[in-house]
Amino acid sequence: MFGLFKKKESEPEREKKPAGAAQDPAVREFALQFSPEEMEILAVTGPRGLAGQRLPGSELWTAGLEVTAWMEEDGPVHREEAELAVLGDDRLLDYFRRRVPRNFIVSVRVRRDNTGAPRFLMVNLPEPAFDPELKAIAEEQKKPVTFQAEGLGEFALNRSLGWFEAEVDWLGKPVRLEFDQDQEREPCLDHLRTLMAEQESWDQRVRALAADRLLLRSADWDAGAEEPAQPVTREGFLARLELDAVQVAADGALTFWFGDGEMLWPHAVRVTGHMETGPEDAGTEEA
């Protein structure tokens, strides 16, 4: 939230300040997490961009811009994941999404996190910058990362989401297999091979659990529609579930993601479980 943490502010900064923000106590609370001393840094924005959440009962968001490397002027380059933090309203966050690209070098004045964590509070708007070493890092981030997995095909790193994914044939339809890039690779691949070898059994069990837990919810949603259709039967529910992706973790935890054919619109169906115990729970998330 630019201008709010400075002793003085220019007219352009006042114009960018979210309306009513100065009276919000969250501003003071947020500022107290950071040192009062300011410094100028150059930073490489990461492939994941800006992410944040709205403060309860407020127009403000706390958001973080991923950074993969940073340096003070004439200082060494720090190759570490860090965050450029900001407190702002919808207008300010939209500015970041439009004007601060991923894999980009910016110059920004910041305050350090009081705990020493690699997190900085931005006190002005980032501006484009250049440094040869940081430029090389930014370019490296844009290169594709892939590998071949026996029996599964080619996995590619989805940098914006931070996971490896491959498209496979699952009972005659294309489905993505996914695992987090920070997970141990070989256990994840072993779990995925097991799922693929037993896909018919897993597909039946996962769909059955989803129907057991969510069929009544789909009927409730249909009853509230402007033009209610015929009640969804169990067979119809199972037929309209469209498997989109299967995610695994090295410890055997797994998640099946389905499109629901608008039965629970605008939600996606999520079935979680474990390789050893099978499907365990089902729910929905906004798509």
Quote the pLDDT of residue 281: 96
Average pLDDT score over residue span 60-70: 96
Q: Which residue has the higher pLDDT, 214 or 225?
A: 214
pLDDT bin (cut points 50, 70, 90) of residue 13 is very low
DSSP 198: T
The first and second tokens of residue 91, run together, are 């207008």
Residues 6+ away with beta carbon under 8 Å from 170? 196, 199, 203, 243, 246
182 exposure class (CB count in 10 Å sphere: 0-12, 13-18, 19+): exposed
State the pLDDT confidence band at 12, using cuts at 50, 70 and 90.
Answer: very low
184: pLDDT strictly greater than 90:
yes
Q: What's 233's DSSP letter?
A: P
Per-residue pLDDT at 228 exceeds 60:
no
Residue 155 within a domain? yes
Please check whether residue 113 lies inside any domain of the structure.
yes
Say if 176 falls within a structural domain. yes
**Is 181 in the same domain as 243?**
yes
Give yes or no: residues 265 and 195 share one domain.
Answer: yes
Residue 2 within any structural domain of the chain: no
The percent of residues in the chain predicted with pLDDT above 70, rounded, is 83
Instruction: Band the pLDDT of 188: cuts 50, 70, 90.
Output: very high
* Residue 246 located in a structural domain: yes
Q: Mean pLDDT, to the nearest integer, of 223-246?
A: 74
Q: Is residue 210 part of a domain?
A: yes
Cβ atoms of 200 and 191 closer than 8 Å:
no
pLDDT of 17: 43
- Residues 39 and 168 placed together within one structural domain of the fold: no
Q: Which of 90, 109, 140 is the last residue of a domain?
A: 140
* Same-domain check for residues 31 and 101: yes
Q: 99 and 18, same structural domain? A: yes
Based on the domain organization, do 132 and 202 belong to the same domain?
no
More confident residue, 142 or 73: 142
Residue 193 lies in a domain: yes
Separation CA 130–CA 37 (nearest Å): 24
Instruction: Tell me which of 94, 125, 140 is where a domain ends.
Output: 140
Residue written as token pair 């489905």:
175
Give the long-range contacts of residues 214-220, CB within 8 A, separation 24 or more.
214/264, 214/269, 214/282, 214/283, 214/284, 217/264, 217/284, 218/260, 218/263, 218/264
Q: How much is the pLDDT for 187? A: 98
Q: What's the total number of domains in the chain?
A: 2
Residues 117 and 179 placed together within one structural domain of the fold: no
Q: Distance between CA atoms of 176 and 207, rounded to whole angstroms?
A: 17
Same domain for 234 and 195: yes
Q: What pLDDT is attached to residue 5? A: 52
- Greater confidence (260 vs 255) lies with 255
Look at residues 140, 171, 206 and tell me which one is the last residue of a structural domain: 140
**CA–CA distance, 231 with 220 (Å, rounded to integer):** 10
Query: Across all residues in the chain, what is the average pLDDT?
Result: 87
The CATH number assigned to the domain holding 59 equals 2.40.50.140
72 vs 43: CA distance, rounded Å: 9
The reply to whether 150 and 269 lie within a common domain is yes
- Full domain range(s) for residue 99: 11-140
Range with lowest mean pLDDT among 170-174, 198-202, 262-266, 281-285: 262-266
Based on the fold, state whether residues 122 and 164 are members of the same structural domain: no
Whether residue 159 is found in the same domain as residue 270: yes
Distance, in Å, from the CA atom of 261 to the CA atom of 215, rounded to the nearest integer, reads 13
Task: Looking at the structure, tell me whether residues 171 and 206 fall in a common domain.
Answer: yes
